[in-house]
Amino acid sequence: MAAKILPVVKLATKVTIAGGALYVAYDSGLLGSGEQGSEALGKAKAAIPPAIEEWMKYFGLQLPTMPKIEFSPVQSWNSGVRWTISSLSEAPTKASDYTSQGLQYIKDLTK
Amino acid sequence: MSEKELGKKWDRCLADGAIKFGTGLGLGIVLSVLFFKRHTWPISFGSGAGLGMAYANCQNDLRSHYMLHRSEKEQ
């Protein structure tokens, strides 16, 4: 009798777990518009440090504090773009200057 | 659309894409383990569907500036 119900119970459990996962994803706005998604991301970010604190207290360990990294990829990218474009725009002028200087030097040598 | 607004929209698009990719990946893993005998295709299907949803959201968001919305329709 139990052997007959077991596959049904297994299927029911699997469906419950999958349905629960889908419901959680839908309810926390992960599948909605862009603003809902960024809201959820903000909430998750805000909730991580207290959660880590709780876990650390539970395990009795102490994570070394993360050093504050003052690195902004956006700033680096923007300054890189600016440097590239400015050097590209100055390149013809600089090239002609260097060629004229080189020619002058060679002329001086041959005088 | 000002530069600032456009930048914010792109930020939202990227964040949304990351979230939906992760959600799709997670749901794909759950479904793959539970129902599909640990094959890989549900995982790729889920992440692809997530990316597609993010793409559609982003497209809608970027176009919304140039569309006429129902609230602005004059009688």
Of A22, A33, A34, the CB nearest to B27: A22
What's phi and psi for B64, nearest 5 deg?
-60, -25
Which carries the bigger pLDDT value, residue A77 or residue A3? A77
Residue B10: closest CA among B48, B57, B49? B57
Quick check: B19 and A41 CB within 8 A?
yes
Q: Which of A14, A16, A27, A38 to substitute to test the interface with B, most B CBs within 10 Å?
A: A38
Q: pTM (2 decimals)?
A: 0.65
Residues of A near B (CB-CB distance < 8 A)?
A: 14, 17-18, 21-22, 25, 30-31, 33-35, 37-38, 40-41
End-to-end CA distance of chain A: 112
Q: Does the pLDDT at position A78 exceed 70?
A: yes
How far A22 CA lies from chain B's nearest CA (Å)? 7
pLDDT score of A67 = 66
**Number of Cα atoms under 13 Å in the Cβ half of residue B9:** 16
**Both tokens of residue B59?**
């497209």
Distance from CA of A46 to the nearest CA of B (A): 16
> DSSP secondary-structure letter at B69?
P
A45-49, A98-102, B15-19, B61-65: which range is least confident on average? A45-49
- Over residues B33-73, the pLDDT tens digits come to 988 888 999 999 999 999 999 999 999 989 988 888 888 77
Contact criterion met (CB below 8 Å) for B20 and A34: no
Torsion angle, alpha carbons of B44, A38, A52, A71, to 10: 100
Closest CA to A22 of B40, B54, B26: B26
By the CB < 8 Å criterion, does B6 face chain A? Answer: no
- pLDDT tens digits, A25-73: 888 777 777 677 677 777 777 877 777 777 777 776 666 666 667 778 8
Hey, which residues 14-43 in chain B have their CB within 8 Å of chain A? 15-16, 18-20, 23, 26-27, 30-31, 34-35
Please give the Cα distance from A43 to A70 (Å, whole number).
23
Residues of chain B with C-beta less than 8 angstroms from the C-beta of A14: 34-35
Fill in the amino acid letter for A44.
A
